[in-house]
């Protein structure tokens, strides 16, 4: 599953960046022109706009989303979605909660804060020296159920509009894809929540800037092996790389290797949340790469390290809605790093968990939901984009851009909300400090 970054793909990334910067420049020029015209006009009026009796104009800001819909969703017990405005997304309790929002930034990045950490700003030794690569990560994505209803109404690109800059600006962006992409399959038995989504949603996912997805989770085989094989085929056609599942265990544990800025990055996907034993890939069976016994994962990391400069492990683990990781999560993360991993990125709890640094390498225990439900509640609505700027030697600077989910869109939050989210992350992290700008540094 080795794939060097093609010239066409690099050109597309550069084109998007140039487009953002051009639009930003044009907007700033237009704002400046308006200010000049207003000043000229004001100087011609009696007393001008700076006269002591003048009063500034104010403007009401429209509420984001439908208050009635949100109130309805908040007041009811979670249930399977019937319509996007009357019912809440499914809450899987201890199996999976369909609660995550996303907003994508329009093509105009005006007002957006650069998601990338400033090289050398943290104490990561050498993180600002030489060539670096920018790697972005988001949490769980489900483009079906209530999110699918919103996309049918507003378009396939709707979920990403408010977060587009943060997804497209980094060199590579990865996510956890938590549903099978198929119109066929046999629904999994004895499972409370079973998902499936249409392949028509994938081109917009690719255009948003997401390059790689992990399939190592507890929904990939919701429609059986047939659904898994369809998922991989549809992702291939859309140009989205995938790992963590395969036609056999060799394929499931194989990394996706991408090259950007002259640096090779290997992505490995594994899950410690597997509904039944027959979901586990083996030499004669399609399935997911599991990590209940981390022996196979250690071997996969060591092998990937021989082919790539950096190794990223994306792991599905933990307890849903728990903001603190289980002890095994911390133990396993150390094993992965001792085996050669440079970054460990977690998912499954559907809420944000904290960060930790071990032997100079970073662990993000859970990035929560990203786009999982149109009507998330409480902590399941808090999300964001994690950006790591890394050197070829594996030293990384970390920065988290906090967002909030509303009506199937992750959207950057105002300063007060950002402070609240970052303060909570700071409180539940281990031996590190999360600054007010989202930068994560060792204490």
At residue 116, the pLDDT reads 62
DSSP 370: E
Alpha carbon of residue 94 to chain centroid: 22
Which residues of the chain are modeled with pLDDT < 70? 1-27, 31-32, 35-130
- The domain made up of 132-442 has a fold known as Purple Acid Phosphatase; chain A, domain 2 (3.60.21)
Question: Domain map of the chain by residue range?
Answer: 132-442
Classify residue 257 by burial, with Cβ atoms within 10 Å: 0-12, 13-18, 19+. Answer: buried
At residue 31, the pLDDT reads 67
At residue 34, the pLDDT reads 73
In this structure, are residues 406 and 103 in contact, taking their beta carbons and an 8 Å threshold? yes
pTM of the model: 0.76
What pLDDT digit, counting tens, does each position of 75-100 carry?
A: 333 333 333 333 333 334 334 443 33
Per DSSP bridges, beta strands 355-358 and 369-371 are unpaired
> What Cα–Cα distance (Å) separates residue 161 from each residue in 58, 102, 107, 145, 408?
27, 8, 8, 19, 10
The sign of the dihedral angle between the CA atoms of 20, 22, 28, 30 is negative
Strand ranges (E), 322-395? 343-347, 355-358, 361-364, 369-371, 382-391
- What is the spatial distance between Cα 181 and Cα 231, in angstroms, rounded to a whole number? 5
Percent of the chain with pLDDT over 70: 71
């Amino acid at each position: 599953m080795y794939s060097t970054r093609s010239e066409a793909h690099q050109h597309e990334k550069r084109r998007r960046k140039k487009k953002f910067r051009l639009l930003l420049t044009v907007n700033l020029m237009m704002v400046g022109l308006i200010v000049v015209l207003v000043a000229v006009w004001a100087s011609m009026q009696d007393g001008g706009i700076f006269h002591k009796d003048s009063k500034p104009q104010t403007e009401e800001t429209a509420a984001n989303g439908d208050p009635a819909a949100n109130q309805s969703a908040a007041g009811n017990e979670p249930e399977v979605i019937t319509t996007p405005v009357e019912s809440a997304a499914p809450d899987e309790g201890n199996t999976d909660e369909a609660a995550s929002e996303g907003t994508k930034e329009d093509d105009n990045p005006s007002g957006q804060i650069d998601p990338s950490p400033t090289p050398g700003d943290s104490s990561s030794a050498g993180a600002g020296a030489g060539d670096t690569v920018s790697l972005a990560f988001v949490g769980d994505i489900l483009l079906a159920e209530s999110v699918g209803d919103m996309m049918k109404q507003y378009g396939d690109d709707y979920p990403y509009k408010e977060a587009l800059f943060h997804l497209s600006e980094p060199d590579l962006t990865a996510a956890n894809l938590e549903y099978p992409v198929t119109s066929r399959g046999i629904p999994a038995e004895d499972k409370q929540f079973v998902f499936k989504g249409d392949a028509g949603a994938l081109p917009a996912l690719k255009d948003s800037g997401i390059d790689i997805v992990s399939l190592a989770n507890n929904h990939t085989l919701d429609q059986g092996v047939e659904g898994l094989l369809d998922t991989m085929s549809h992702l291939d056609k859309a140009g989205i790389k995938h790992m963590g599942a395969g036609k056999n265990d060799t394929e499931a544990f194989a990394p996706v290797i991408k090259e950007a800025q002259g640096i090779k990055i290997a992505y490995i996907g594994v899950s410690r949340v597997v509904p039944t034993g027959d979901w586990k890939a083996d030499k004669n069976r399609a399935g997911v790469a599991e990590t209940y016994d981390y022996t196979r994962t250690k071997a996969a990391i060591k092998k990937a390290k021989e082919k790539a400069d950096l190794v990223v492990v994306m792991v599905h683990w933990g307890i849903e809605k728990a903001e603190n990781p289980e002890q095994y999560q911390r133990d396993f993360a150390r094993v992965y790093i001792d085996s050669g991993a440079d970054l460990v990125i977690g998912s499954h709890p559907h809420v944000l968990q904290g960060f930790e640094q071990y032997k100079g390498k970073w662990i993000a225990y859970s990035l929560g939901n990203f786009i999982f439900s149109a009507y998330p509640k409480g902590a399941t609505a808090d999300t964001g984009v994690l950006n790591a700027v890394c050197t070829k030697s594996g030293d990384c600077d970390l920065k988290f851009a906090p967002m909030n989910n509303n009506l199937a869109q992750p959207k950057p939050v105002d300063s007060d909300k950002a402070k609240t989210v970052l303060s909570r992350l700071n409180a539940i992290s281990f031996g590190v400090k999360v600054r007010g700008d989202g930068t994560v540094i060792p204490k």
